[in-house]
Structure 1
Amino acid sequence: MFLLQKYDYFFVFLLIISFFSILIFSLSKWIAPINKGPEKFTSYESGIEPMGEACIQFQIRYYMFALVFVIFDVETVFLYPWAMSFYNFGISSFIEALIFILILIIGLVYAWRKGALEWS
């Protein structure tokens, strides 16, 4: 007996979607106009003529702020399910969460002392 009978509809759906996506990409490649002019290779700046180079260097502090934000945003994502199931797991999960928060606080203090959070 075939063990994946309950997935038949899924596989049919997957085949249909794959066929249509390949068809749509092929049609767009076939129908799209091919214009290779100088305007095609300029960077787009809301319809305004570009000034200077398109590739500029950003200062590292933007990335540091973004990195610290992402770290603490992910912390929230990990702590929310823990908070929802706190009563089910008992004191051991509380200690694990405290260790997790302590590691993140140590990382925050390290970034603070290194000057990663200074905006000068």
Structure 2
Amino acid sequence: MFIQYSHIWVTIIISCLLSSILMFASIIISLQNTHNSKITPYECGFEPFEDARQKFDIQFVLVAILFIIFDLEIVFLLPLTRFFAYIDLTSWFVISIFLLILVFGLIYEWNKGGLEWQ
């Protein structure tokens, strides 16, 4: 079975190694070139008038995460429309559990007030 999926494992191993090498190279390069002007934001050649790193509400991040989660739900469910007639009972069970987990997550988020803008 391992040999049957060997090309997938090779791809996973190569991508993990390449991403690790690039991450460590980035860390090493960034430690060598620390300078105050490199970490300040660029304002079209002018000195910044005020600090450009302003705080923003965490609500934006929560809404973005919820959007990504439910957007992925649609991505997973759209192919089902093509093979709707060929789905057996086991697949219906898995799809139902997937939808129940997402619905319970939505209800939990709603009860915690994550969908209410303050």
Provide the TM-score with structure 1 as the length reference: 0.57
Residue 51 of structure 2 is matched in structure 1 by 53
Q: Is the contact made by 1:86 and 1:94 (CA closer than 8 Å) also made in structure 2?
A: no
Residue 80 of structure 2 is matched in structure 1 by 82
Which range moved further: 108-117 or 51-60? Answer: 51-60
* SS of alignment partner, residue 102 of structure 1: helix
Alpha-carbon RMSD? 2.3
Q: Does structure 1 residue 73 correspond to structure 2 residue 71?
A: yes
Structure 2 letter corresponding to 1:72? F
Q: Radius of gyration: which is bigger?
A: 1
Identity %: 44
- The runs of 4+ residues in structure 1 deviating greater than 4 Å are 45-49
Residue 93 of structure 2 is matched in structure 1 by 95
Count of residues in Structure 1 that have an aligned counterpart in Structure 2: 83
Q: Does structure 1 residue 116 correspond to structure 2 residue 101?
A: no
Instruction: Report deviation, 1:44.
Output: 3.7
Instruction: Report deviation, 1:46.
Output: 6.2
- Equivalent-residue separation in structure 2 for 1:83 and 1:66 (angstroms): 26
Bigger relative contact order, structure 1 or 2, given CA contacts below 8 A and separation 6+? 2
* SS of alignment partner, residue 54 of structure 1: coil
